[in-house]
Amino acid sequence: MNIHIVKQPEFAAVFTLPSPAMDHSGIGHLVEHLVFRTSTLFPERHNLFALTSITRCKMNASTTGDKSYYFVQANTAEDLLLLIEYLYAGLMTHTYAACDIEQEKSVIQHELAFYAKHPAYQRQSQIWRGDQHPDAYQHWGGFPDMLAQITAHDVYTYKSQYYQDSALTIIASGITEADIYHVSRRVRNKLSVQNEQVLKSIKRPIIYQIKSVNIVENETTTSKIFSWWLPAQYQKSVQAQLPIWQTQWPELYIEEELNHRGMFAIRYLCEASIQSFTTWVRQQVVTAEPQLTTIEQFPECIQTLLAHELLNNDIAVYGALQSAAPNSHQLDHQDLANIITSSISQLIGEPNISYLAKLPDHMVLKTAPIDSPKLPTATHFESPTIIKRFTDTVNCILGSYQPRTIALLLEDMGDDAFYIKKDMWVIKESDIPPETMTAICQSAAFWAPRVQGQLYTMGVFEKGGLFYIWGVGDNNPADNMAYMLGLIRSNRH
């Protein structure tokens, strides 16, 4: 594992590793979910949700076409190291029970259906699914019909290929390299016995088998898409000029993400000839500039850590900056002048022609009904192992994360105790002690709807002395809300 320490006051860390989108199955996206779901060291399936809801830590991940990012943030060095241990154990765990994989696939199916409501997402998916070029974007989020094909062996082979310790980089602040090394060695020692046993039982080759999508003629529209791919270092320049270009060519479309080969696409959508556009675009001038990794939903301190990835990795790839001295953590702004300007004609050849594809129905996988055991009294709740080890759980505070969709739902809710709107629901609780609510949120029973794949996401937050429990992307909102109401009310006193 590559370790980089950055000087900043926050206790934070981010793992990065290459995780190419091999096909449209969303294998990288599924693996991201599974990293948080369970591991040999932390087997409980609801650790992530309990941690981010009732402690002061932050933890999340993001997967793109070529990389995955996992971050953690805490209030003390001790807590940060525990979170790193939890996350590192998930990253290095390669085997999962079939039921864990199927339930997490169901969660992603709900997530895909949630995104599919947006026209922009539908159009992008149509473009990607219809594109058969070698540089075509592979949908790292996955298409529902292809996600359904992923097996436990696929997950094992993918993680064995790409989630290797040697490919992993951690950038951290508030702790030392020796601290991280000690934690990682402890995790590897605990996992080594299991990994050896798995290797002995594996009979098939440890190579991920790429899933192919077959597009037949009647599954595409007549809308042509002309595409060129450019190296990533020109993306910033192209995006800066895009508003001006689109005043002349409104059919022009630029992909904001990089593909699995670290490139981005310039696309022109039309049904007629594009000779005049091709002549024009070849004459445009673009500038090579360093690409700073930016993931807007991550905290600012994690963004700062990711900025240092440019010095550690991207210089060698893009060549847009001079080599930095080892252990240097400051960008030399004089290096920014070392840029390359080119006409697009020097970077592209003939356009690739594809068509908008019709999308499959977003069918949600069927899952087993939710178990509804009555919880024991609050003083005997079973907390997750990692929650027990947290030093600040005595002063737990319920999370404040409130999705925008839930904020809008609260406006319609008014004074009602609970409310359902389409595939979303929210419950308002007032007469329950905070310590009881915290204990309920620590339990596996509370998170059963999410863990069992019944909905896309759920959570709890406190506002104005009231507790709000919510769910989004739920195909059975009435059933799951009723389950949650029963769970809370049976343990209120």
The reported pLDDT for the residue numbered 327 is 33
Query: What are the angstrom distances between the C-alpha of 368 and each of 49, 176, 446?
Result: 21, 45, 17
**Residues paired with 263 in a beta bridge:** 231
The reported pLDDT for the residue numbered 400 is 64
**Residues paired with 267 in a beta bridge:** 227, 253
Burial class (CB in 10 A: 0-12, 13-18, 19+), 308: buried
| Residue pLDDT, tens place only, 371-428 | 655 544 444 456 678 888 876 655 667 776 777 888 888 888 888 999 999 999 999 9
Question: Beta-carbon neighbour count of residue 261 at 10 Å?
Answer: 17
**429 alpha-carbon distance from chain centroid:** 31
**DSSP one-letter string for 92-142:** H-----HHHHHHHHHHHHHHHHHHTTSHHHHHHHHHHHH--STTPPP-TT-
Residues 403 and 395: their CA atoms lie apart, in Å, by 24
The reported pLDDT for the residue numbered 377 is 46
Domains delineated in the chain: 2-201 (3.30.830.10), 222-289+339-355 (3.30.70), 378-489 (3.30.70)
Residues 235 and 286: their CA atoms lie apart, in Å, by 9
The reported pLDDT for the residue numbered 194 is 64
The reported pLDDT for the residue numbered 372 is 53
Summarize the chain as % helix, strand, coil (round to 5): 40, 20, 40
Residues 37 and 43: their CA atoms lie apart, in Å, by 8
The reported pLDDT for the residue numbered 458 is 93
State the angle between helix axes of 27-37 and 98-115 in degrees (0 to 180), rounded to the nearest 10: 120
**Residues paired with 472 in a beta bridge:** 457
Residues 73 and 486: their CA atoms lie apart, in Å, by 34
The reported pLDDT for the residue numbered 469 is 94
Which of 367, 362, 361 shows the shortest CA–CA distance to 106?
Answer: 367
Residues 81 and 78: their CA atoms lie apart, in Å, by 5
Coil, strand or helix at 181: helix
Supply 248's token pair: 């002349």
Which of 240, 237, 267, 300 shows the shortest CA–CA distance to 123?
Answer: 267
Asked if 70 and 83 count as a contact pair (C-beta separation under 8 A), the reply is no
Residues 375 and 381: their CA atoms lie apart, in Å, by 8
**DSSP one-letter string for 354-403:** EEEEPPPP-PPPP-PPPP-PPP--GGG----HHHHH-TTGGG--------
What is the pTM assigned to this prediction? 0.88
The reported pLDDT for the residue numbered 310 is 60
The reported pLDDT for the residue numbered 323 is 31
| Amino acid symbol at 326 | P
The reported pLDDT for the residue numbered 368 is 64
Supply 465's token pair: 């002395």
Residues 384 and 369: their CA atoms lie apart, in Å, by 23
Asked if 175 and 77 count as a contact pair (C-beta separation under 8 A), the reply is yes
Residue 103 sits at the vertex; the CA angle it makes with 97 and 106, to the nearest 5 degrees, is: 145
Residues of the chain with pLDDT below 70 are 193-205, 215-220, 272, 309-339, 362-383, 391-396, 400, 493
Q: Read off the DSSP letter of residue 311.
A: I
